[in-house]
Amino acid sequence: DYLSPWGLLVRTSDDPSWPAGTKYGAPNAQAKLTPGQPFTLRRDGADVLFDHMKTWRFYSEFSSDYMPDLNYGAVGSFRESAPYRAIVASAGRWIDRGVDGLRLDAAKHIYSDEQGAENPAFWAGFYDDVNARYRETHADDIYMVGEVLSDAQHAAPLYRGLPALFEFSFWWTLRDRLNSGRGSDFCATVGSFRTLYEGYRSGAVAATKLSNHDETRAATDLGGDAGRMRLAAAVLLTASGEPYVYQGEELGYTGRQSGGDEYVRAPMMWDAAGASLADGALSGKVDRDLLTAARSVERQAADDASLLSLYRTFARLRNTYPALARGTMTPHGVYNADNAEYASIAAWYREAEGERMLVLHNFAPTTRQLRLTDAVERAVGVQGSVRRGVGADAALLEMGPCSSVVFLLER
């Protein structure tokens, strides 16, 4: 019924949709038919090849026949390949439609050696070529962020090719520290990642995040604890880097990445009317308890104490103060890993354009007291219970469980 240079298949039904149980082929992809010799067909088998035929197969990093990779050829000549020229042209068409940035999925999987030099070289060429096309009509550079599902050490070499990478190590470090209740080395640890990136690219952008579609939801990884979920949001939006929020994170969505991305891709609940899912592929893979009015954007936006309102408050705070948006992030000199008294306190300075801020987070599930060692002008952002003394005790700060405070320092 089907004949091509790749071989043939046989079906026992005249139904052109090839229903299950009617397609027959070779026992495996290596078996070949020699005319005049018996050949046993197998239900749902491989294409039948004659013994003189050769099979061309796509290399597939994901071991999938439905996600074949493009054949760019050797890294030294990939720019000459037709697929490469086609994707650069495609990017150009998106630029013409107003797109000024690209998210690059699975960026470590162009060539098979994740730690080899080929992938960074490929992305360097792609970025330069697409950016040249972008700059024909723009004064700035195009933005590209790569998804490299690896720790900082293994992801860092990709900065040779791309200006920004999602920082998985940021979330993995934060998740560990929040669940253990210790924060004093968080800033220094994250800072070591950034130093590593700078070794590969000056001005490397850490695209910070909590979880994404390849991971168990942050709320689930944090045990569903509301305090830790709120603290995670505050840390994300007061740390350096360019933060991303995976859809549903700001509503407190839960989900375990087991058996497919669908388990962490519940649709956003925009209004309190609720949502419904038709029976089908997603029907057993989405937690329907998430699709309730109480979790909706509409309901949470009207509640100043909701998780969504916290995200919005700290996003506004970040956009108000240049130091929080793009300032340097340096560990506090007193509240640090060497000071056991403040083991639960994550503390850092943010500084830009003459503006200095002090960020304090209590990672512990219990109340902590500390003495301020900086001259603070005022608190500009608070989440959780934070109280400051008055008069002679003005330097005393009491931080409730999983709480945060951002101080603007005196100039």
* Residue 331 bridge partners (DSSP): 348
The token duo for 286 is 């989405």
* Residue 8 bridge partners (DSSP): 3, 48
Query: What is the residue type of 180?
Result: S
105 catalytic residue (yes or no): yes
Q: Which of 96, 100, 105, 141 is catalytic?
A: 105
* Pairing verdict, β 404-409 and 376-383: antiparallel
> In whole angstroms, what is the distance from residue 181 CA to residue 355 CA?
30
> In whole angstroms, what is the distance from residue 194 CA to residue 331 CA?
13
Q: Which of 147, 221, 249, 250 is catalytic?
A: 147
* Pairing verdict, β 164-166 and 143-146: parallel
Contact criterion met (CB below 8 Å) for 244 and 218: no
The token duo for 58 is 């796509």
1 catalytic residue (yes or no): no
Residue located via tokens 């407190």: 252
**Cβ neighbours of residue 42 closer than 8 Å, sequence gap 6 or more:** 24, 25, 26, 27
Q: What is the dihedral of CA 126, 130, 132, 134, to 10 degrees?
A: -160
- Catalytic residue positions, numbered: 105, 147
